[in-house]
Structure 1
């Protein structure tokens, strides 16, 4: 069976705004509905040990780097080296929502994901009913015009110029990329939707995630 590893926030990668456990459970449930097994783990230093996933889903965020609590940047180097090795071996990556604001101690993460949350620049209006517009003819979103959902709109993310933008949030006359395919290595998708489980009550949002997973695994 195809198997995914879902990483949710813990310690230096756990923020107070997202319920990582609930999000991880909902993502695992969604994967199971499509016949994909999953392991949900908090982002501990050993989280990537003893597993060879077919897909890596990152839903961790930005927490508190506290050496007394969970180690130093140096202590975390083996984790990031293992992550880089998985990506180099061809394991596809799906970054969800707060993944744009995680792994600040890894200079490689932003370029891999194709973008970053930038403190003091990136922001979002209050969570509420939102419509996101599909702007690409890529096979991943073929036939999908928009996503209507109860969610946050991430605005002014730092986005690399070589990503393939699939979906945007329109705000005050400006279009902000929120879903894109990064150049890799391997297949990498970032999806800024998914603040909490309410996002996954939307059929069009669930359809988008299923499309992302299918495309990532088809590589």
Structure 2
């Protein structure tokens, strides 16, 4: 059993499109059912100060203060704690839009291996099929899975850093679009999870369990 902290976006790390207040408890339920001790905290001052005491940090947040704008003093200590956690090699699972959170922290941007860019987009949310990226079919995150069938968004045109390991992709207009990857052995970005309907999918839930198991191995 691992101790897991889920940061659920509010305030500067919320947005009008993603119901983190509903999806974070669902993520927690899935991971508790897998035997983990899970703590869900909103991104308020003080929430991340003890992040180093956890085995895994799960970010389910978004938004972020605009580039060039300083975070409020009340969040500085939390960002510093997260920075230290990342520098020390802490394990991270970044969900859906959370690779764009904590924008004032270059270490976060570097850790998660990619982000939503100027040319990124997605078609309307719909029933979707996700498959292993080339060479990823034998990766442990795909254990017991062939595809993921889920009602979710198909993020496309993401800005992805060199050197990541693509894990999950979909096809759009005949083109493969990577939507999940690993950065080394301590970080995974999982682009699924727009809203609570994503977590109704058994295969999506299994992917989440597999990702966490691999990160903690």
TM-score where L is the length of structure 2: 0.90
What residue in structure 1 maps to residue 35 of structure 2? 35
Contact 1:150 1:198 in 2 (8 A): yes
What residue in structure 2 maps to residue 200 of structure 1? 199
Listed as ranges, the gaps of 5+ residues in structure 1 are: 66-70
What RMSD over aligned residues (CA atoms) do the two structures have, in Å? 1.8
Q: Report how far residue 47 of structure 1 moved.
A: 1.2
What residue in structure 1 maps to residue 141 of structure 2? 140
Listed as ranges, the gaps of 5+ residues in structure 2 are: none
Distance in structure 2 (CA, Å) of the matches to 1:109 and 1:64? 14
What residue in structure 2 maps to residue 178 of structure 1? 179
Q: Report how far residue 128 of structure 1 moved.
A: 0.8
Contact 2:65 2:71 in 1 (8 A): no
Distance in structure 2 (CA, Å) of the matches to 1:131 and 1:140? 16
Provide, for residues 68-114 of structure 1, a one-character-per-residue CA deviation record: whole Å limited to 9, x for no partner: xxx94262443222112223334310000011221222222221001
Secondary structure of the structure 2 residue equivalent to 1:190: strand
Structure 1's 50 and 133: CA in aligned 2 closer, same or farther, altered over 3 A? closer
Contact 1:13 1:62 in 2 (8 A): yes
What residue in structure 1 maps to residue 18 of structure 2? 18
State yes or no: 1:116 paired with 2:141: no
Contact 1:11 1:64 in 2 (8 A): no
